[in-house]
Amino acid sequence: MRCRTSGINHVQSEPLHNDSQLSQNNVRSRLLTCPLNELHPHPSYERYGFTVPASRLSALATRGDLAFCEPLVITRQRTIIDGYPLWELARQRSRANLLCLEYDLTDTEALRWLLQRHGRSDGLNAFCRIVLALELKPWFKEQALSNQKAGGRNKGSSNLPEAERVDVRSEIALAAGASEGSVTKVKKLTTTADLDPDLLVALRNGEVSIHRAWLLSKEQRDKRRDAWWEYRSKKGLSKVIRSLLSAHQSKWPADAPSLADLVGSLSTLSSDQLCSVKVILLKAPGLVLAVSEGLLQTLRVQEALPIKCVTNSH
């Protein structure tokens, strides 16, 4: 299927986004077709190893050739601002060219817009957005110093007082769409020399929250490693249990034993049988008791249950 690209060299003027300084620049754009091998990620995006989630690629692939009718947003240097899933899909399918909307932007401007286009609802999680926004710290600091001098305060000073440092942090938080507290924690996490690399990967993937990772980072190195392993193990086990419960919950038989029946039946098991039963803690709302088919089968064999329990075969 062909995409209609009439007016492909048309140059138009339009504001980049709501930021006052960028909109005043009246950034110009043009629609064009670019060779795929000329396009590249933003240096900050590439430096931290960000990738497109497989789920987003799969969803985009279902659109077929229609997906490639949407243009990538790029700079004149062929840096990708928006459209990373489309770019990755084009690479996988060995396409030669992609439709692009080109803006004349600096790397700093491109990064600021990248953060806007990949906010809370579109791709990058809070940790990734904050890591990128921290790259803008020198620019925000320069702006704060410029504002100082414009106001006639501390002329010629290269140091920011506390108030201006707070303002820089708030600007970083605003750019990332996150809280100032999260910015402080991410800065600490990314500057901890002996932090487990797996923890940083988990933060990028959204496997662990910023706050949880920050708490882990405060532990001594040996204790931190053990605590991280325990957290991942419990979280992985809980995920498996939730998956199993979701798959089997609707298949629970109508004539299943009551809680009172189960408690009474368990008391009839031998010591060896009771020792073989594993007890795990399941974080779930309400009062829930999860029972494996193996345990129910054992109780049935011993005729310890007052009613017949029918289980589904898989």
DSSP E strands, 36-164: 40-41, 72-75, 79-82, 97-103
pLDDT band with cut points at 50, 70 and 90 for residue 122: low
What is the average per-residue pLDDT within 233-243?
62
Q: Is the pLDDT of residue 197 over 60?
A: yes
Segment 57-65 mean pLDDT: 91
Mean pLDDT for the stretch of residues 90-112: 93
Distances (CA, A) of 215 to 33, 183, 191, 202: 48, 14, 15, 14
**Do 1-122 and 125-249 fold alike per CATH?**
no
- Tell me what the mean pLDDT of segment 72-99 comes to: 94
Fold of 1-122: 3.90.1530
β-pairing verdict for 11-13 and 79-82: unpaired
Place of tokens 């286009």: 117
State pLDDT tens for residues 246-288.
655 545 555 567 778 888 888 888 887 888 787 777 666 667 7
State how far the Cα of 111 lies from the Cα of 202, in Å rounded to an integer: 23
Domain locations in the chain as residue ranges: 1-122, 125-249, 252-301
Is residue 238 scored above 70 in pLDDT?
no
pLDDT of amino acid 173: 93
Per-residue confidence (pLDDT) for residue 32, from 0 to 100:
95
257: DSSP letter = P
How far is it, in rounded angstroms, from Cα 154 to Cα 23?
29
Match 């020792």 to its residue by tokens: 275
CA 282, chain centre distance (Å): 25
Torsion of CA 188, 179, 44, 86, to 10 degrees: 140
Residue-level pLDDT at 146: 77
The token pair that represents 127 in the structure block: 């940790």
- Dist CA 294 CA 44 (whole Å): 52
Architecture in CATH of 125-249: Orthogonal Bundle (1.10)
* Token pair 């924690």: residue: 185
